[in-house]
């Protein structure tokens, strides 16, 4: 019985050591991955990587991780000469295959959300135009237009619908523009308030699917397969 107790104690100690080593390895790998995750050369801000599953060391030995959660902030991409900033991308990566020397990684399947804040959307709009949350799934777009016919500058706010076009373009269009009986006013206002901006900089294999207007910004769901995230 005494020998059995000793064996049990040794097993518990060794198990604890293995868990500690495994968790230390995860922490080190996450830190290294945060410095290596790349979005095709696009400028990004901070990155947070969380590797799921246990044990980690056996996953590394097989060069495949069960799941990796990645959060990347401040992704700056240029499309058609205009920059639009993705405030944050939150992605869940499944069956992540590690490349030779662990210098690259490809997810067999990925889902996530890209967030474009209203401040970022304002930056992407025309000069002098601001975009804010309008409630009930709408955005409020405010801009000033010069009316040559009456020699006046008018500032107008409109509620607009936001849609995703062709899987990579955010379209903002006013539901209604008050005309006030001034000829051509609606067209002038729409030239300011209606706009489209492409979103680039996403990893290969990741596609935008659906857009929702939320109080904190535009939330764009995305998914993909064979998604490359490091290199």
- At 27, is the secondary structure helix, strand, or coil? helix
Residue range 81-139, pLDDT digits in tens: 566 788 888 889 888 887 766 567 788 899 989 899 999 889 888 888 899 999 889 99
Do 226 and 110 touch, CB atoms closer than 8 A? no
By percentage, how much of the chain surpasses pLDDT 90? 13
Q: pLDDT value at position 228? A: 78
Q: pLDDT value at position 140? A: 94
Give the confidence band of 214 by pLDDT, cuts at 50, 70, 90: very high
Query: Mean pLDDT of all residues in the chain?
Result: 76
Residue range 36-57, pLDDT digits in tens: 665 555 666 677 878 776 676 6
- The H or E element containing residue 74 is strand 64-79
Do 120 and 132 touch, CB atoms closer than 8 A? no
> What is the token pair recorded at 50?
């969380």
What is the distance between the alpha carbons of residues 65 and 110, in angstroms, rounded to a whole number?
A: 13
Using alpha carbons, select from 196, 131, 124, 191 the residue that is nearest to residue 157.
Answer: 131
Q: pLDDT value at position 143? A: 83
Entry pTM: 0.75
Do 229 and 119 touch, CB atoms closer than 8 A? no
């Amino acid at each position: 019985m005494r020998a059995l107790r000793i064996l049990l104690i040794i097993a518990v100690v060794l198990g604890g050591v293995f868990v500690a080593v495994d968790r230390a390895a995860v922490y080190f790998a996450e830190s290294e991955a945060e410095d290596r995750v790349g979005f095709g050369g696009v400028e990004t801000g901070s990155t947070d990587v969380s590797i799921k599953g246990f044990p980690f060391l056996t996953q590394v030995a097989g060069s495949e991780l069960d799941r990796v959660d990645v959060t990347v902030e401040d992704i700056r991409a240029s499309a058609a000469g205009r920059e639009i900033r993705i405030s944050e991308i939150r992605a869940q990566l499944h069956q992540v295959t590690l490349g030779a020397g662990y210098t690259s990684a490809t997810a067999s399947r990925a889902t996530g959300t890209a967030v474009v804040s209203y401040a970022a959307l304002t930056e992407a709009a025309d000069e002098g135009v601001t975009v804010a949350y309008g409630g009930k799934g709408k955005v409020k777009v405010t801009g000033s237009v010069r009316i040559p016919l009456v020699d006046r500058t008018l500032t107008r706010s409109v509620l607009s619908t936001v849609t995703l076009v062709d899987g990579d373009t955010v379209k903002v269009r006013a539901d209604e523009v008050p005309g006030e009986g001034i000829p051509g006013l609606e067209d002038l206002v729409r030239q300011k308030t209606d706009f489209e901006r492409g979103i680039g900089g996403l990893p290969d294999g990741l596609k935008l699917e659906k857009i929702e207007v939320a109080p904190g910004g535009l939330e764009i769901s995305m998914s993909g397969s064979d998604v490359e995230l490091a290199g």
